[in-house]
Chains A and B, each alone.
Chain A
Amino acid sequence: MIACRPTMAPSDIPAVPRRRVLQAVAAFGAWVAVRPAVGDAPPELGAAIRAFADGAPVQTGRITLEIAPLVENGNAVPIAVVVQSPMTDADHVRQIAVYNEKNPQRDVIVFNLGPRAGRARVATRIRLATSQRLVALARMSDGSVWQHAVDVIVTLAACVES
């Protein structure tokens, strides 16, 4: 004997108000936009960040990675890292590091500073193999770690193949 299941007519489908669907979609979009950068950082990049942090919580703020959001030539991309710090003996930046997501190697450059730097601003030129996320991290004299992540689009990639 075949169990007879009640069939559902199209008109019986519980009506989900369109407004609620749109609200849910908007909320998801907002969550995607403000999601924390470390939590969902690509695994290798996240590992690099954790290795730098060495157990300290990674906070957002105090550090700014300056880079053009649209990079035309990935062979020499100007970047600058600025950290809000008085650079005194008691409160200074000890280390600044930059990591990338999709170059063959995660490390980009590491700077060691001290109170004698006077100003916590460094700049250099880097290579980018493709559009990707970059993260700048700073370690302060009190041991706290701060980060700033930036997504960049690269039109001409640095030549990896040849």
Chain B
Amino acid sequence: MSRALITMPATAKRGDAIEIRTLIAHPMETGYRRGDDGHVLPRNLIRRFACRYDGETVFEAQLYPAVAANPLIVFSTRATVSGALTFTWEGDNGFAQTETALLTVT
């Protein structure tokens, strides 16, 4: 498990767009760099990020080597119903992590 941070408001008015900031600890090794021994460091990337909310994937991203280490992804979603937002990161070497955050809609 990597450390993941999700910053978003705990409550929102129905219909408002809320901003969500997600950060996850991950080296995002590009596969282009060489280590001290001269060998190419094997590629180790997060490839895909998705956010599910209210029964639907509301946001998705495909990540490439040009995304910096510890990927930050900032996006928005419209508050529809109170409930959990599910965030998933998937990558090389079977990397998969899921986090949830609760949103109360008034």
Interface residues of A (CB under 8 A from B): 75-77, 80, 87, 100, 103-105, 107-119, 121-128, 159-162
Contact = CB atoms under 8 A, between A and B. Distances in A.
Interface of B: 16-19, 30, 32-36, 53-54, 56, 58-69, 71-78, 80
14 contacts: A87-B17, A105-B65, A109-B63, A116-B56, A116-B58, A117-B17, A117-B78, A121-B76, A124-B67, A124-B74, A127-B65, A127-B66, A159-B33, A162-B34
A112 B30 CA distance: 23
Contact of A109 (B19, B53, B62, B77): B62
A83 B92 CA distance: 31
User: Which of B34, B64, B72, B73 is the most central at the interface, judged by chain A CB atoms within 10 Å of its CB?
Assistant: B64
A19 to B, nearest CB: 48
Contacts of B58: 114, 116-117
Contact of B80 (A116, A119, A159): A116
B67 A112 contact: no
A113 B59 contact: yes
- Which of A110, A117, A121, A124 gathers the greatest number of chain B CB atoms within 10 Å? A124
Contacts of A160: 30, 32-33
B78 A77 contact: no
Given A121-B19, A125-B72, A127-B30, 4 more contacts: A104-B32, A105-B65, A109-B64, A116-B58
Contacts of A125: 67-68, 71-72
Contact of B67 (A108, A115, A117, A161): A108
A118 to B, nearest CB: 3
B74 A100 contact: no
A122 B33 CA distance: 28
Nearest to A162: B34
A118 B76 contact: yes
| Of A80, A114, A159, most B-chain CB atoms within 10 Å | A114
A113 B58 CA distance: 7
Given A105-B66, A108-B67, A159-B33, A119 B61 contact: no
Given A116-B58, A161-B34, A107 B64 contact: yes
Contacts of A113: 59, 75
